[in-house]
Amino acid sequence: MPTAIGCLVAAALLMVLAPWLLARGNWQVARPRLALGAWFTALFTGLALVAAALVGTVLAATSLAVAADSGRAGGGALVTVVAWVSLTGAGAFIGLVSGLSQPLVDSYRRSLRRLSPVATAREDRGAFTLVRFNSEEFLAVAVPGRRPEILLSSALEAHLTPEQLRAVLAHEYAHLRHRHGLAVRIAELNALCLPRWVPAGNALRRATLLLVELAADDVAAGQAGARTLAGALSRIGQATHDPGLELRAARLQAFRSDATQPCGLPLPVRI
């Protein structure tokens, strides 16, 4: 029983301290993949501690019940009640997760259903399908799943050089290869499950959305060259007046150097 309480206290401390610690300093901007790993390690450690507390409570209740049956111990009613309450809580948590995940999935499907009628060309590139569509917006979107897709707007294709376009595709392909979609969905679900007054939920969601973009930038910069990707970001940033894109370009130039030669684009991205 003391072990179970210790696990719960450790989980609560982790939920409070991890966002505070991980958001300190600027290291996550320089090392986004490491930071993403640290955030999700904290999340899964917290979940494991809660699960361990649950299992510990149930085991303590069972052993006390066995001891009471054989006349070696009396009482244990409190532990049994706590075990049942824990199991009920676990059931409610599973129900909450499954109840909240469906609206998220529906929301995602709605967005994708809206996209498909305006596709102008679909090209099978092995690892993903490249879907071109007419739009005046500068859009490139990675759609993970069993049949992954990268959606590319006509405006983006017209506005960038072929090298820059390949760098953008390498960025989107990095999202698919490194399962960034799954990370975002887990962070969104975590934020929905926790009450709004608990900052850990929104902190993980925000950090994930930023870090997956920076991590994909780093992968694409390594493949297509930091200068090329920074050029693409800067060009779209100037056209859309989005300061975030200009800063992502500046980050690539500040934290990565083109002294290291790009390692070359993956085959599906070479167009």
Instruction: Provide the binding-site residues for another protein, judged by CB under 8 A.
Output: 26, 29-30, 103-111, 113-118, 133, 135, 137-144, 156, 168, 171-172, 175, 180-181, 184-185, 188, 191-192, 202, 205-206, 209-210, 212-213, 236-237, 240, 242-245, 247-248, 250-251, 254-255
Closer to another protein by CB, 65 or 127: give it.
Answer: 127
**The dihedral sign for the CA sequence 65, 67, 70, 75:** negative
Non-local (6+) Cβ contacts of 221 within 8 A are 167, 229, 230, 252, 256, 262
Least separation in angstroms between CB 245 and another protein? 6
Instruction: Find residue 150's DSSP bridge partners.
Output: 130, 142
Least separation in angstroms between CB 112 and another protein? 8
CA dihedral 197, 200, 205, 206 (to 10 degrees): 90
Least separation in angstroms between CB 115 and another protein? 5
Q: Which helix (H) or strand (E) holds 140?
A: strand 140-143
Closer to another protein by CB, 11 or 156: give it.
Answer: 156
Least separation in angstroms between CB 154 and another protein? 12
Closer to another protein by CB, 94 or 182: give it.
Answer: 182
Least separation in angstroms between CB 243 and another protein? 5
Closer to another protein by CB, 172 or 218: give it.
Answer: 172
Instruction: Find residue 153's DSSP bridge partners.
Output: 133
Q: What's phi and psi for 160, nearest 5 deg?
A: -105, 155
Closer to another protein by CB, 198 or 250: give it.
Answer: 250
Non-local (6+) Cβ contacts of 148 within 8 A are 127, 128, 129, 142, 176
Closer to another protein by CB, 14 or 187: give it.
Answer: 187
Instruction: Find residue 121's DSSP bridge partners.
Output: 132
Asked whether the beta carbons of 238 and 180 are under 8 A apart, the reply is no
Instruction: Find residue 149's DSSP bridge partners.
Output: 129, 143
Least separation in angstroms between CB 86 and another protein? 29
Asked whether the beta carbons of 143 and 108 are under 8 A apart, the reply is no
Residue 138 one-letter amino acid: F
What is the residue whose two structure tokens read 């982790």? 14
Least separation in angstroms between CB 163 and another protein? 15
Closer to another protein by CB, 72 or 114: give it.
Answer: 114
